[in-house]
Amino acid sequence: SIPDNANMKLHINHFDPNYIIYDSSSDTTYLRGRLLGKGGFARCYELLDLNTNKIYAGKIIAKTRISKPHQRQKIIREVELQKTLHHKHVVEFHSYFEDDENVYIVLENCSRKSLVHMLKQRKTLTEPEVRYYLKALVEGVGHIHKHNIIHRDLKLGNMLINDSMELKIADFGLATSIGYEGEKKMTVCGTPNYIAPEVLQKRGHSYEADVWAIGCVAYALLVGRPPFETSTLKETYVRITSNNYVLPPTLSADAQDFIQKCLCNEPELRPSLEQLLNSDFLTSGHMPKTLSPACCSTMPKFPIYTKF
Ligand SMILES: CC[C@@H]1C(=O)N(C)c2cnc(-c3ccc[nH]3)nc2N1C1CCCC1
Protein backbone atom coordinates (compact mmCIF):
# COMPACT_ATOMS: atom_id res chain seq x y z
CA SER A 1 0.00 0.00 0.00
CA ILE A 2 1.26 3.49 -0.78
CA PRO A 3 0.88 6.18 1.86
CA ASP A 4 -1.37 8.80 0.33
CA ASN A 5 -0.05 11.76 2.25
CA ALA A 6 -0.18 14.76 -0.03
CA ASN A 7 3.49 15.36 -0.70
CA MET A 8 4.06 11.73 -1.47
CA LYS A 9 1.28 11.38 -4.01
CA LEU A 10 3.14 9.69 -6.80
CA HIS A 11 0.27 9.94 -9.27
CA ILE A 12 0.91 6.32 -10.13
CA ASN A 13 -2.26 4.89 -11.67
CA HIS A 14 -0.34 1.81 -12.68
CA PHE A 15 3.14 0.53 -11.94
CA ASP A 16 4.90 2.28 -14.78
CA PRO A 17 8.21 0.39 -15.10
CA ASN A 18 9.91 3.77 -15.53
CA TYR A 19 9.13 4.57 -11.89
CA ILE A 20 10.17 1.25 -10.38
CA ILE A 21 13.78 0.93 -9.19
CA TYR A 22 14.98 -2.44 -7.92
CA ASP A 23 18.06 -2.95 -5.74
CA SER A 24 18.82 -6.66 -6.17
CA SER A 25 21.67 -6.57 -3.61
CA SER A 26 19.20 -5.78 -0.81
CA ASP A 27 16.02 -7.05 -2.54
CA THR A 28 14.51 -3.57 -2.13
CA THR A 29 12.04 -1.99 -4.54
CA TYR A 30 11.73 1.79 -4.70
CA LEU A 31 9.12 3.97 -6.36
CA ARG A 32 10.74 7.01 -7.94
CA GLY A 33 8.98 10.19 -6.85
CA ARG A 34 9.37 13.85 -7.74
CA LEU A 35 12.55 15.34 -9.19
CA LEU A 36 14.40 17.19 -6.42
CA GLY A 37 17.01 18.81 -8.61
CA LYS A 38 20.37 18.20 -10.19
CA GLY A 39 23.66 17.76 -8.34
CA GLY A 40 26.72 17.29 -10.57
CA PHE A 41 26.21 14.27 -12.83
CA ALA A 42 23.20 13.18 -10.78
CA ARG A 43 19.50 13.70 -11.18
CA CYS A 44 18.02 13.60 -7.68
CA TYR A 45 14.62 12.13 -6.86
CA GLU A 46 12.49 11.25 -3.87
CA LEU A 47 12.54 7.45 -3.51
CA LEU A 48 9.87 5.49 -1.66
CA ASP A 49 11.14 2.21 -0.19
CA LEU A 50 8.19 -0.13 -0.74
CA ASN A 51 9.43 -2.54 1.96
CA THR A 52 9.38 0.10 4.72
CA ASN A 53 7.30 2.95 3.24
CA LYS A 54 10.20 5.27 4.12
CA ILE A 55 11.13 8.17 1.87
CA TYR A 56 14.76 8.73 0.84
CA ALA A 57 16.58 11.10 -1.49
CA GLY A 58 18.31 9.33 -4.37
CA LYS A 59 21.19 10.52 -6.55
CA ILE A 60 20.77 8.73 -9.88
CA ILE A 61 23.75 8.88 -12.24
CA ALA A 62 23.50 7.48 -15.76
CA LYS A 63 26.39 5.12 -16.46
CA THR A 64 26.89 6.86 -19.79
CA ARG A 65 27.85 9.98 -17.77
CA ILE A 66 30.59 8.17 -15.87
CA SER A 67 32.25 6.12 -18.58
CA LYS A 68 35.81 7.22 -17.64
CA PRO A 69 37.39 5.32 -14.69
CA HIS A 70 38.30 8.48 -12.72
CA GLN A 71 34.68 9.68 -12.85
CA ARG A 72 33.53 6.36 -11.43
CA GLN A 73 36.28 6.50 -8.82
CA LYS A 74 35.08 9.93 -7.68
CA ILE A 75 31.63 8.52 -6.96
CA ILE A 76 33.01 5.51 -5.12
CA ARG A 77 35.18 7.85 -2.99
CA GLU A 78 32.17 10.06 -2.19
CA VAL A 79 30.20 6.99 -1.05
CA GLU A 80 33.11 5.46 0.88
CA LEU A 81 33.66 8.73 2.81
CA GLN A 82 29.97 9.38 3.54
CA LYS A 83 29.11 5.81 4.64
CA THR A 84 31.64 5.94 7.52
CA LEU A 85 29.92 8.97 9.10
CA HIS A 86 27.05 8.65 11.58
CA HIS A 87 26.04 11.95 13.19
CA LYS A 88 22.85 13.91 13.82
CA HIS A 89 24.13 16.78 11.68
CA VAL A 90 25.62 14.77 8.79
CA VAL A 91 23.39 13.31 6.05
CA GLU A 92 23.07 9.56 6.67
CA PHE A 93 24.09 7.24 3.83
CA HIS A 94 21.46 4.53 3.20
CA SER A 95 22.62 2.43 0.24
CA TYR A 96 24.50 2.26 -3.03
CA PHE A 97 23.61 -0.02 -5.94
CA GLU A 98 23.72 -0.23 -9.75
CA ASP A 99 21.58 -1.58 -12.56
CA ASP A 100 22.24 -1.70 -16.31
CA GLU A 101 21.62 2.03 -16.84
CA ASN A 102 22.46 3.86 -13.61
CA VAL A 103 24.28 3.95 -10.30
CA TYR A 104 22.14 4.90 -7.28
CA ILE A 105 23.17 6.62 -4.05
CA VAL A 106 20.28 6.51 -1.55
CA LEU A 107 20.48 9.10 1.23
CA GLU A 108 18.50 10.50 4.17
CA ASN A 109 15.61 12.71 3.04
CA CYS A 110 15.75 16.41 4.01
CA SER A 111 12.28 17.62 3.13
CA ARG A 112 12.90 21.34 3.81
CA LYS A 113 15.69 21.60 1.23
CA SER A 114 18.74 23.80 2.01
CA LEU A 115 19.73 27.10 3.62
CA VAL A 116 19.95 28.56 0.10
CA HIS A 117 16.18 28.32 -0.22
CA MET A 118 15.64 29.67 3.30
CA LEU A 119 17.89 32.69 2.71
CA LYS A 120 16.13 33.41 -0.59
CA GLN A 121 12.85 33.61 1.36
CA ARG A 122 14.19 35.42 4.43
CA LYS A 123 17.02 37.61 3.00
CA THR A 124 18.83 37.38 6.39
CA LEU A 125 18.37 35.28 9.53
CA THR A 126 18.23 36.51 13.13
CA GLU A 127 21.29 35.95 15.34
CA PRO A 128 19.54 33.30 17.49
CA GLU A 129 18.69 31.31 14.32
CA VAL A 130 22.28 31.66 13.07
CA ARG A 131 23.56 30.43 16.47
CA TYR A 132 21.22 27.40 16.13
CA TYR A 133 22.48 26.48 12.64
CA LEU A 134 26.16 27.28 13.30
CA LYS A 135 26.19 25.14 16.46
CA ALA A 136 24.83 22.21 14.42
CA LEU A 137 27.28 22.90 11.59
CA VAL A 138 30.32 23.08 13.91
CA GLU A 139 29.24 19.84 15.66
CA GLY A 140 28.77 18.09 12.31
CA VAL A 141 32.10 19.32 10.92
CA GLY A 142 33.73 18.22 14.21
CA HIS A 143 32.45 14.69 13.56
CA ILE A 144 33.71 14.77 9.97
CA HIS A 145 37.18 15.98 11.10
CA LYS A 146 37.32 13.29 13.83
CA HIS A 147 37.17 10.78 10.96
CA ASN A 148 40.18 12.50 9.33
CA ILE A 149 37.93 13.83 6.55
CA ILE A 150 37.87 17.39 5.18
CA HIS A 151 34.55 18.32 3.54
CA ARG A 152 36.06 21.11 1.34
CA ASP A 153 32.71 22.32 -0.03
CA LEU A 154 30.76 23.63 2.97
CA LYS A 155 28.22 26.07 1.52
CA LEU A 156 24.56 26.99 2.03
CA GLY A 157 23.46 24.54 -0.69
CA ASN A 158 25.05 21.66 1.25
CA MET A 159 23.33 22.60 4.52
CA LEU A 160 20.10 20.67 4.23
CA ILE A 161 17.12 20.92 6.60
CA ASN A 162 14.91 17.95 7.53
CA ASP A 163 11.27 17.86 8.57
CA SER A 164 12.22 18.67 12.19
CA MET A 165 14.25 21.72 11.12
CA GLU A 166 17.54 19.93 11.88
CA LEU A 167 20.63 20.85 9.83
CA LYS A 168 22.33 18.03 7.90
CA ILE A 169 25.68 18.47 6.09
CA ALA A 170 25.48 16.98 2.56
CA ASP A 171 27.58 16.29 -0.53
CA PHE A 172 30.99 14.70 0.01
CA GLY A 173 31.82 15.05 -3.69
CA LEU A 174 34.86 17.27 -2.98
CA ALA A 175 35.75 15.68 0.36
CA THR A 176 39.07 13.97 1.03
CA SER A 177 40.66 11.96 3.82
CA ILE A 178 43.86 12.92 5.63
CA GLY A 179 46.20 9.93 5.63
CA TYR A 180 48.66 11.06 8.32
CA GLU A 181 49.04 13.77 11.01
CA GLY A 182 50.03 17.03 9.32
CA GLU A 183 49.30 15.89 5.75
CA LYS A 184 48.57 18.84 3.46
CA LYS A 185 46.43 18.46 0.32
CA MET A 186 47.69 20.40 -2.71
CA THR A 187 44.74 20.25 -5.13
CA VAL A 188 40.95 20.09 -5.26
CA CYS A 189 39.23 18.70 -8.35
CA GLY A 190 36.31 21.07 -8.63
CA THR A 191 35.65 24.62 -7.42
CA PRO A 192 34.50 24.91 -3.82
CA ASN A 193 32.04 27.75 -3.35
CA TYR A 194 33.62 29.26 -0.22
CA ILE A 195 37.22 28.46 -1.23
CA ALA A 196 39.96 29.33 1.31
CA PRO A 197 43.01 31.42 0.27
CA GLU A 198 45.47 28.56 0.91
CA VAL A 199 43.44 26.33 -1.44
CA LEU A 200 43.38 29.05 -4.12
CA GLN A 201 47.13 29.58 -3.85
CA LYS A 202 47.84 25.84 -3.70
CA ARG A 203 49.95 26.43 -0.56
CA GLY A 204 48.76 23.12 0.87
CA HIS A 205 45.53 22.90 2.84
CA SER A 206 43.90 20.81 5.55
CA TYR A 207 41.05 20.96 8.09
CA GLU A 208 41.38 24.76 8.44
CA ALA A 209 39.83 25.20 4.98
CA ASP A 210 36.53 24.00 6.48
CA VAL A 211 36.79 26.61 9.28
CA TRP A 212 37.20 29.35 6.62
CA ALA A 213 33.99 28.08 4.94
CA ILE A 214 32.14 28.11 8.29
CA GLY A 215 33.05 31.81 8.55
CA CYS A 216 31.67 32.40 5.05
CA VAL A 217 28.43 30.57 5.98
CA ALA A 218 28.06 32.65 9.18
CA TYR A 219 28.58 35.87 7.19
CA ALA A 220 26.11 34.86 4.45
CA LEU A 221 23.36 33.93 6.93
CA LEU A 222 23.70 37.20 8.89
CA VAL A 223 24.41 39.61 6.01
CA GLY A 224 22.37 37.95 3.24
CA ARG A 225 25.24 37.58 0.78
CA PRO A 226 28.69 35.91 0.78
CA PRO A 227 31.65 37.93 2.15
CA PHE A 228 33.73 38.00 -1.06
CA GLU A 229 31.00 38.10 -3.70
CA THR A 230 31.73 40.18 -6.83
CA SER A 231 30.55 40.05 -10.43
CA THR A 232 33.50 37.98 -11.65
CA LEU A 233 35.19 34.88 -10.21
CA LYS A 234 38.61 36.48 -10.82
CA GLU A 235 37.75 39.57 -8.77
CA THR A 236 36.33 37.35 -6.03
CA TYR A 237 39.60 35.42 -5.90
CA VAL A 238 41.56 38.70 -5.64
CA ARG A 239 39.39 39.72 -2.65
CA ILE A 240 39.87 36.33 -0.95
CA THR A 241 43.66 36.37 -1.26
CA SER A 242 43.80 40.03 -0.13
CA ASN A 243 41.27 39.31 2.64
CA ASN A 244 39.13 42.18 1.43
CA TYR A 245 35.60 42.00 2.90
CA VAL A 246 33.28 44.34 4.79
CA LEU A 247 31.84 43.48 8.23
CA PRO A 248 28.57 45.43 8.57
CA PRO A 249 28.52 47.34 11.91
CA THR A 250 24.93 46.16 12.37
CA LEU A 251 26.27 42.75 13.42
CA SER A 252 26.81 42.16 17.14
CA ALA A 253 30.38 42.31 18.42
CA ASP A 254 30.28 38.54 19.11
CA ALA A 255 29.11 37.80 15.55
CA GLN A 256 31.80 40.07 14.05
CA ASP A 257 34.43 38.39 16.23
CA PHE A 258 33.29 34.87 15.20
CA ILE A 259 33.43 35.73 11.49
CA GLN A 260 36.73 37.65 11.73
CA LYS A 261 38.50 34.72 13.44
CA CYS A 262 37.28 32.18 10.82
CA LEU A 263 38.17 34.47 7.89
CA CYS A 264 41.81 34.75 8.91
CA ASN A 265 44.13 34.46 5.89
CA GLU A 266 46.60 32.33 7.87
CA PRO A 267 45.03 28.85 8.28
CA GLU A 268 47.03 28.05 11.42
CA LEU A 269 45.67 31.21 13.13
CA ARG A 270 42.03 30.22 12.62
CA PRO A 271 40.13 28.86 15.66
CA SER A 272 39.67 25.12 16.17
CA LEU A 273 36.13 23.71 16.08
CA GLU A 274 36.36 23.32 19.87
CA GLN A 275 37.15 27.04 20.21
CA LEU A 276 34.23 27.88 17.88
CA LEU A 277 31.82 25.85 20.03
CA ASN A 278 33.05 27.80 23.09
CA SER A 279 33.08 31.18 21.31
CA ASP A 280 31.15 34.12 22.79
CA PHE A 281 28.85 34.13 19.78
CA LEU A 282 27.74 30.52 20.34
CA THR A 283 27.67 30.67 24.16
CA SER A 284 26.51 34.12 25.28
CA GLY A 285 23.30 34.76 23.36
CA HIS A 286 19.90 33.09 23.10
CA MET A 287 20.42 29.58 21.65
CA PRO A 288 17.07 28.10 20.51
CA LYS A 289 16.69 24.34 21.20
CA THR A 290 14.41 24.00 18.17
CA LEU A 291 13.08 26.26 15.41
CA SER A 292 9.53 26.40 14.08
CA PRO A 293 9.06 25.48 10.38
CA ALA A 294 7.60 28.99 10.07
CA CYS A 295 11.22 30.20 10.20
CA CYS A 296 11.62 28.96 6.61
CA SER A 297 9.52 31.89 5.46
CA THR A 298 9.00 34.43 8.26
CA MET A 299 11.27 36.05 10.86
CA PRO A 300 10.66 34.58 14.33
CA LYS A 301 10.25 36.67 17.48
CA PHE A 302 12.26 35.21 20.35
CA PRO A 303 10.95 35.86 23.88
CA ILE A 304 13.44 38.06 25.73
CA TYR A 305 14.36 36.17 28.90
CA THR A 306 15.46 38.12 31.94
CA LYS A 307 18.27 36.55 33.93
CA PHE A 308 16.15 35.94 37.07
C1 LIG B 1 20.01 13.93 -3.11
C2 LIG B 1 21.01 15.06 -3.28
C3 LIG B 1 20.97 16.04 -2.12
C4 LIG B 1 21.34 15.32 -0.87
O5 LIG B 1 22.51 14.98 -0.71
N6 LIG B 1 20.38 14.98 0.05
C7 LIG B 1 20.76 14.18 1.22
C8 LIG B 1 19.06 15.43 -0.09
C9 LIG B 1 18.05 15.02 0.77
N10 LIG B 1 16.80 15.49 0.61
C11 LIG B 1 16.55 16.38 -0.38
C12 LIG B 1 15.19 16.90 -0.55
C13 LIG B 1 14.86 18.10 -1.15
C14 LIG B 1 13.46 18.18 -1.07
C15 LIG B 1 13.01 17.03 -0.44
N16 LIG B 1 14.10 16.26 -0.12
N17 LIG B 1 17.48 16.81 -1.25
C18 LIG B 1 18.74 16.33 -1.13
N19 LIG B 1 19.69 16.72 -2.04
C20 LIG B 1 19.35 17.81 -2.98
C21 LIG B 1 18.64 17.28 -4.23
C22 LIG B 1 18.88 18.36 -5.26
C23 LIG B 1 20.11 19.14 -4.85
C24 LIG B 1 20.51 18.65 -3.48
pLDDT tens-digit series, residues 160-181: 999 999 999 999 999 999 999 9
Ligand 1 pocket test, pick from 107, 111, 164 with the greatest ligand atom count within 8 Å of Cβ, gives: 107
Per residue in 108-118, pLDDT tens? 999 999 999 99
Residue 75 reports pLDDT greater than 70: yes
Q: What is the pLDDT of residue 1?
A: 45
Q: What is the pLDDT of residue 13?
A: 46
Residue 6 reports pLDDT greater than 70: no
Per residue in 240-294, pLDDT tens? 999 999 999 999 999 999 999 999 999 999 999 999 999 999 999 999 999 999 9
The residue whose CA is least distant from atom 11 of ligand 1 is 110
229 CA → ligand 1 middle, Å? 25
157 CA → ligand 1 middle, Å? 10
Residue 215 reports pLDDT greater than 50: yes
Give the span between the Cα atoms of 157 and 117, in whole angstroms.
Answer: 8
Q: Report the catalytic residues.
A: 153
- pTM value > 0.80: yes
46 CA → ligand 1 middle, Å? 8
In ligand 1, the atom with minimum distance to the C-alpha of 171 is 5
Q: Is the ipTM of this complex over 0.90?
A: yes
